[in-house]
Amino acid sequence: MMLIMLAGATAGLGLYLLVKVFVQPAPGVAATLARLDAGRRGTPQPVGRAQPDVRLGGIDRARLNIGSRLEAESAARGWQFAKVRLDLAIMNRPFSLHLGTKVLLAVGALVWLPLMAGVLRLIGPNLGTTTPAILTLAGAAMAFFLPDLTLRKEAEERRRHFRHVVGSFLDLVAMNLAGGRGLPEALMAASSVGDHWAMARIRQALSNARVIGVTPWDGVSRLGSELGVEELRDLASALALAGDEGAKIRHSLMARAESMRRKELTDVEGQAGERSQSMLVAQLLICAAFLLFLAYPATSQILAS
**Domain total of the chain:** 1
| Burial letters 222-242, b for 16+ CB under 10 A, else e | bbbbbbbbebbbebbebbbeb
Q: Is residue 224 part of a domain?
A: yes
Q: Is residue 25 part of a domain?
A: no
Query: Greater confidence, 244 or 215?
Result: 215
Q: What is the pLDDT of residue 229?
A: 86
Q: Is residue 222 part of a domain?
A: yes
Strand, helix or coil for residue 300: helix
pLDDT at 19 over 80: no
CA 129 to chain centre: 37
Sequence-distant (≥ 6) Cβ neighbours of residue 133 within 8 angstroms? 3, 6
High-pLDDT (> 90) share of the chain, %: 6
Query: Greater confidence, 118 or 166?
Result: 166
Q: Is residue 237 part of a domain?
A: yes
CA 2 to chain centre: 39
Query: Greater confidence, 145 or 240?
Result: 145
pLDDT band at 193 (very low <50, low <70, confident <90, very high): confident
Query: Greater confidence, 121 or 291?
Result: 291
The overall pTM is greater than 0.85: no
| Burial letters 114-134, b for 16+ CB under 10 A, else e | eeebeeeeeeeeeeeeeebbe
Q: Is residue 168 part of a domain?
A: yes
* Interval 40-63: pLDDT, tens: 444 444 444 444 444 555 677 777
Q: Is residue 93 part of a domain?
A: no
Q: What is the pLDDT of residue 41?
A: 45
Mean pLDDT along residues 162-168: 87
Q: What is the pLDDT of residue 49?
A: 47
Query: Greater confidence, 228 or 44?
Result: 228
Q: Is residue 98 part of a domain?
A: no
- Give 191: exposed, middle or buried? Use CB within 10 Å, 0-12, 13-18, 19+: buried
Q: Is residue 136 part of a domain?
A: no
What are the DSSP calls for 68-137, one per residue?
Answer: HHHHHHHHHTT---HHHHHHHHHHT--HHHHHHHHHHHHHHHHHHHHHHHHHHHHHS---TTHHHHHHHH
Mean pLDDT along residues 229-256: 75
Tell me the C-alpha distance between 31 and 88, whole Å.
Answer: 21
Mean pLDDT along residues 256-262: 82
Residue 90 contacts residue 228 (beta carbons within 8 Å): yes
pLDDT at 252 over 60: yes
Structural domain including 191 reads: 159-261
Tell me the C-alpha distance between 208 and 103, whole Å.
Answer: 35
* Interval 79-127: pLDDT, tens: 788 889 889 989 988 898 898 889 888 888 888 888 887 777 777 666 6
- Give 6: exposed, middle or buried? Use CB within 10 Å, 0-12, 13-18, 19+: middle
Q: How many residues does the chain have?
A: 305
Tell me the C-alpha distance between 17 and 38, whole Å.
Answer: 29
